Structure 1
Amino acid sequence: MAAAKNVSDETKNEAMKVAKATQKPGQAKEQTKLIAAGIEKGIAEYKKQHKNKARDRDKARKQDIKAKARTNKTVENDTSEVTAKSTNAHLLPWGLLVISWIGFIGFSLIK
């Protein structure tokens, strides 16, 4: 009975239409109502399963987005570390060149 309370009027009307469409000649109204109730349960179960599948797809999609964000963040961190290391590596030869020229000029001035 709890499931019957959760079924919408639209679902009940749809179930009754299907039950009347498949009604056999000489079939009692009670039998048609029982068939409609069974159809209601089937529709409710289908909607429930569809809702669960949609929820699972949404969870999977969100997990994929989070995983991609983590991957992108890791790649960005690695790239920034490589850039920082290559910037430092790039400055080292220039710094040594400047120091050697200063040393050369200083040595020339002392002589």
Structure 2
Amino acid sequence: MAKQKNSEISVETQDEAMVVAKKTQKPGQKKEQTRLIAQGIQKGIAEYKKSVKSKQRQADKAKKKKQPENQTTELESENESQTEKSHRTPWILLLLSWIGFAAYIFYNR
């Protein structure tokens, strides 16, 4: 496992880790020991954040994988309703044209 550099860890995380390390500091504990504890806390926070991001990515991938299936079903239902409308349209136009033609002949006599 590669070691993380302090530059990869955010300043907020470093500050959080130092605050926690100072709160848990025991009497007579040296600054170097507190600093090492803070580094351990930083690594723990970084690992936690990394695992949360990984879980989020996996959840997003699963969501994206399910999304096309739902879209396909929606598109099929839309296509079916459009097909029904497109089958009715010519018949309705034909009927209207015959009614119009009959009305034209009836009123022009």
TM range (shorter): 0.5 to 0.7
More helix by share: 1
The residue type equivalent to 1:77 in the other structure is: N
- Partner deviation per Cα, 1:31-70 (whole Å, 9 max, x = no partner): 1111101000000001111111111222222222221101
Which shows bigger deviation, 15-24 or 68-77? 68-77
After superposition, where does 1:3-14 map in structure 2 within 5 Å?
3-4=4-5, 5-14=7-16
Structure 2: gaps spanning 5 or more residues:
92-109
Q: Which residue of 2 aligns with 1:47?
A: 49
Please state whether the residue corresponding to 2:26 is helix, strand or coil.
coil
The residue type equivalent to 2:70 in the other structure is: K
- Partner deviation per Cα, 1:49-97 (whole Å, 9 max, x = no partner): 1111111222222222221101112233345556677x5xxx7xxxxxx
**Structure 1 length normalisation: TM-score?**
0.65
Match of 1:33 among 15, 32, 35: 35
Q: Which residue of 1 aligns with 2:100?
A: none
Q: Share of identical aligned residues, percent?
A: 48
Could you say which structure has the larger radius of gyration?
Answer: 1
After superposition, where does 1:15-94 map in structure 2 within 5 Å?
15-80=17-82
- Partner deviation per Cα, 1:2-29 (whole Å, 9 max, x = no partner): 5123101111111000000001111111
Distance 2:3 2:40 in 1: 15
- RMSD over aligned Cα, in angstroms? 2.7
- Alignment: residue pair count: 92
**Structure 2 length normalisation: TM-score?**
0.66
